[in-house]
Amino acid sequence: MSQSTATVELDALIVGAGFSGLYQLHMLRNLRGLSVRVVEAGDSVGGTWYWNRYPGARCDSESHAYCYTFSKELTEEWDWSERYPGPDEILRYLNHVADRFELRPWLDLNRTVQSARFDQDSNRWQVECKDGNRYSAQFLITAVGCLSTANIPDIEGLDDFSGQWYHTGQWPRDGVDLSGCRVAQVGTGSTGIQAAPVIAEAAAHLTVFQRTANYSVPARNCALTDEVRQQQKRNAESIQQVMHSNTNGHPWKINPQNALDTAEHDRQAIYEQSWETGGLKFRAAFADLLTDNTANDTAATFIRNKIRQVVKDPETAASLSNIDHPYGAKRPPIDTHYFETFNRDNVDLVDLKKTPIVKIDRDGIQTSGGHHAVDVIVFATGFDAMTGSLLRMDIRGREKSLADAWVAGPSNYLGLQVAGFPNLFTITGPGSPSVLSNMPVSIEQHVEWITRCIDDVLAAGKTCIECTEDAMAGWVQHVNDVANATLLPTVKHSWYLGANVPGKPQVFMPYAGGLDQYRKACNDVATNGYEGFTLS
Ligand code: N01
């Protein structure tokens, strides 16, 4: 896309062409003839899935639920091939959506937003891109995802490393040939746990550097048969009804039974069955797993025992099962043969709790326990989650920048708006269920609410909607209260709290009160004349 000197005048500008940006574009294109564009840094649609193409990348939500539900025809015509889709298939799906709903003419690709300023005189957002292109829009909607800004650890000596290094979230599009390579993988979150088995297959040797041991449950990925696909399509309405009415947007209900009210023998049977079923549904085995430490211990012990049963070397098994936090209090990974990978001859584990990294040098990684010579380092070290991608856009409201407004951590109303930033909406922003839910369901809820809101503002003959400071303070308090009723904020190194990025304020960011409660809160606000917002 070349640079044009004229500012593009729009009703709404959307930033990002992933699941949220595409649906927001579709909805606003069909509203009152609004002029809308999407700017996207990548050269194609896809968002998270455009960038995350590391070995083993795969969605943790099940394919028939990790998709849009707004169009019956789309649900009917699209065939998923596996229980969990990989990036290529998700990208094919999103490209199909872009074509099917004729979205491409309004996508400005290869264009990165550099700054967005609210101009008080015109009541419009003035947006400038890195390539010099400019937009002016009444409404600015961020659809930048929650996990898009790579967190690359500041380890002494990385610049001296003579081999190649990569972050999983910025994986080269054409892949990396790891054959014959000695690979170091730093990080054992959801990404690292997906990547290690696949890297181990490809590389000559893999050393996994683990700082905090992690739980994982088998994903049990499989090809979908025609029969399963037909059944999912036949039952689409009832499946979607579950997804749209429960706490997490997944196509299942949480067992209402408490682990602590269940006899030991029955409890073990339920865990065994959940382990066999596999996937994130393990979290739904009992109702009290995320609210009661003793209940959580029963699940944690079950998984630790599974790890020890799988991993043959006792010292490795001890390091992998020495997990310091409640199950599910960090985002729980799911895997395909992760723990089994440590039984391979070409895989070693380095327990950084025992022997921390001292530095990186020309030839590899030096820990306090020894030197590990490697050709490639893979950083599976996560993201500056939820706020990173918003703050790097240099957004400036009436009086201050978003960075200044959020210096003590993100604060907003309903996860959707920040006081002092009129007509700015953040899809799946901090303070919304987002990462605690099946993302496409949360995205659809946000997009539909924003669309209704813009429609209502325009129908009322108004030009501006802005939340009040009081409403924002009340919501922030509520977000904290519902988080504190769970075990989620008790984990030290959690990205939910921003604790994984040095210097980032530690505030529990997502809304833990459940997607159902959240949906109701948003609907009530709209129905009550946009309580907590000022329309002008
Ligand atoms: O990142 P993470 P991720 N030295 O932050 C370690 C989503 N996701 O990319 O735990 C050594 O969870 C860090 O150690 P510790 C999902 O929501 C979705 O894995 O901080 N180690 C940890 O082990 C997920 O939660 C899918 O002690 C360092 C790891 O790096 C989110 O993305 C698939 C370090 C980072 O784990 C992020 O997952 C994959 C250092 N300096 C991911 N710094 C789906 O399928 C960090 N670590 C949808």
Supply the CATH number for residue 103's domain: 3.50.50.60
Are residues 352 and 399 both part of a single domain? Answer: no
Let me know if residue 407 belongs to a domain: yes
3-state helix, strand, coil in the chain (%, to 5): 35, 20, 45
Among candidate residues 479, 458, 469, 463, the one with its CA nearest the CA of residue 414: 479
Are residues 209 and 280 both part of a single domain? Answer: yes
Point out which residues pair with 535 in neighbouring strands: 465
Among candidate residues 445, 417, 424, 427, the one with its CA nearest the CA of residue 386: 427
Torsion of the alpha carbons at 524, 528, 534 and 536, rounded to the nearest 10? 130
User: Ligand 1: which of 84, 158, 190 to mutate, most ligand atoms within 8 Å of CB?
Assistant: 190
- The token pair that represents 395 in the structure block: 């957004």
Q: Whose CA is nearest to atom 45 of ligand 1?
A: 59
The Cα angle at residue 144 between residues 139 and 148, in degrees rounded to 5: 165
Domain boundary among 335, 364, 379: 379
Q: Evaluate: CB of 54 within 6 angstroms of ligand 1.
A: no
Q: What is the pTM of this model?
A: 0.97
Which residue carries 């924002």 as its tokens? 472
Count other C-beta atoms under 10 Å from residue 233's C-beta.
Answer: 17
Q: How far is the CA of 454 from the centre of ligand 1 (A)?
A: 36
Q: In degrees rounded to 5, what are phi and psi of residue 4?
A: -115, 150
Q: How far is CA 265 from the centre of its chain?
A: 36
The pLDDT value given to residue 3: 57
Are residues 341 and 265 both part of a single domain? Answer: yes
Q: Evaluate: CB of 148 within 6 angstroms of ligand 1.
A: no
Are residues 139 and 219 both part of a single domain? Answer: no
Q: Evaluate: CB of 186 within 6 angstroms of ligand 1.
A: yes
Q: What is the largest distance, in Å, between two alpha-carbon atoms of the chain?
A: 71
Read off the amino acid at residue 465. Answer: I
pLDDT tens per residue, the chain (536 residues)? 455 679 999 999 999 999 999 999 999 999 999 999 999 999 999 999 999 999 999 999 999 999 999 999 999 999 999 999 999 999 999 999 999 999 999 999 999 999 999 999 999 999 999 999 999 999 999 999 999 999 999 999 999 999 999 999 999 999 999 999 999 999 999 999 999 999 999 999 999 999 999 999 999 999 999 999 999 999 999 999 999 999 999 999 999 999 999 999 999 999 999 999 999 999 999 999 999 999 999 999 999 999 999 999 999 999 999 999 999 999 999 999 999 999 999 999 999 999 999 999 999 999 999 999 999 999 999 999 999 999 999 999 999 999 999 999 999 999 999 999 999 999 999 999 999 999 999 999 999 999 999 999 999 999 999 999 999 999 999 999 999 999 999 997 899 999 999 999 999 999 999 999 999 999 999 999 999 999 99
Q: Among positive and negative, which fits the CA dihedral 72, 76, 77, 79?
A: positive
The total number of residues shown for the chain amounts to: 536
Which residue carries 């399963």 as its tokens? 228
Which residue carries 């699941």 as its tokens? 19
Are residues 123 and 207 both part of a single domain? Answer: no
Domain boundary among 379, 403, 436: 379
Let me know if residue 235 belongs to a domain: no
Q: Where are the alpha helices (DSSP H) in 323-438?
A: 338-341, 388-391, 402-405
Let me know if residue 374 belongs to a domain: yes
Q: Evaluate: CB of 435 within 6 angstroms of ligand 1.
A: yes
Q: Evaluate: CB of 208 within 6 angstroms of ligand 1.
A: no
Cα separation, 76 vs 347, in Å, equals: 43
Cα separation, 427 vs 20, in Å, equals: 7
The pLDDT value given to residue 493: 83
Q: How far is the CA of 331 from the centre of ligand 1 (A)?
A: 9
Q: How far is the CA of 359 from the centre of ligand 1 (A)?
A: 20
Cα separation, 204 vs 365, in Å, equals: 17
Are residues 502 and 463 both part of a single domain? Answer: yes
Let me know if residue 238 belongs to a domain: no
Helical pair 293-310 and 264-277, crossing angle rounded to 10 deg: 60
Identify whether the C-beta of residue 495 lies closer than 8 Å to the C-beta of residue 385.
yes
Domain boundary among 379, 398, 420: 379
pLDDT (tens digit per residue) in 41-81: 999 999 999 999 999 999 999 999 999 999 999 999 999 99
Are residues 443 and 472 both part of a single domain? Answer: yes
Q: Evaluate: CB of 48 within 6 angstroms of ligand 1.
A: no
Let me know if residue 270 belongs to a domain: yes
Q: How far is the CA of 56 from the centre of ligand 1 (A)?
A: 14
Query: Residue 48: which residues within 8 A CB-CB, separation 6 or more?
Result: 18, 145, 147, 148
Q: Whose CA is nearest to atom 37 of ligand 1?
A: 382
Q: In degrees rounded to 5, what are phi and psi of residue 272?
A: -60, -45
Q: Evaluate: CB of 510 within 6 angstroms of ligand 1.
A: no
Q: Is 466 helix (H, G, I), strand (E, B) or coil?
A: strand
Q: How far is the CA of 497 from the centre of ligand 1 (A)?
A: 13
Cα separation, 402 vs 391, in Å, equals: 7
Let me know if residue 195 belongs to a domain: yes
Q: Which domain holds residue 496?
A: 7-149+384-535
Q: CA 206 → CA 30, 155, 191, 385, distances in Å?
A: 51, 20, 15, 27
Let me know if residue 347 belongs to a domain: yes
Helical pair 19-29 and 439-459, crossing angle rounded to 10 deg: 30
Q: Evaluate: CB of 60 within 6 angstroms of ligand 1.
A: yes
Are residues 270 and 326 both part of a single domain? Answer: yes
The pLDDT value given to residue 2: 52
The full DSSP string for 320-350 is: HH---S-TTTSPPPEESSHHHHTTSTTEEEE
Q: How far is the CA of 111 from the centre of ligand 1 (A)?
A: 28
Let me know if residue 463 belongs to a domain: yes
Are residues 213 and 196 both part of a single domain? Answer: yes
The pLDDT value given to residue 4: 61
Which residue carries 């010099």 as its tokens? 132
Q: Which atom of ligand 1 is nearest to the CA of 190?
A: 19
pLDDT (tens digit per residue) in 492-505: 789 999 999 999 99
Q: How far is CA 254 from the centre of its chain?
A: 21
- The token pair that represents 166 in the structure block: 């990569």
| Domain total of the chain | 2
Q: How far is the CA of 210 from the centre of ligand 1 (A)?
A: 11
Q: How far is the CA of 382 from the centre of ligand 1 (A)?
A: 4
Are residues 174 and 79 both part of a single domain? Answer: no
Among candidate residues 26, 157, 171, the one with its CA nearest the CA of residue 94: 26
Q: Whose CA is nearest to atom 24 of ligand 1?
A: 190
From its phi and psi, is residue 440 left (phi > 0), alpha (psi between -120 and 50) or beta?
A: alpha
The pLDDT value given to residue 333: 98
The pLDDT value given to residue 303: 98
Are residues 367 and 426 both part of a single domain? Answer: no
User: Ligand 1: which of 500, 506, 509 to mutate, most ligand atoms within 8 Å of CB?
Assistant: 500
Are residues 471 and 503 both part of a single domain? Answer: yes
Count other C-beta atoms under 10 Å from residue 2's C-beta.
Answer: 7
Q: How far is the CA of 306 from the centre of ligand 1 (A)?
A: 22
Identify whether the C-beta of residue 439 lies closer than 8 Å to the C-beta of residue 428.
yes
Cα separation, 78 vs 64, in Å, equals: 10
Q: How far is the CA of 500 from the centre of ligand 1 (A)?
A: 9
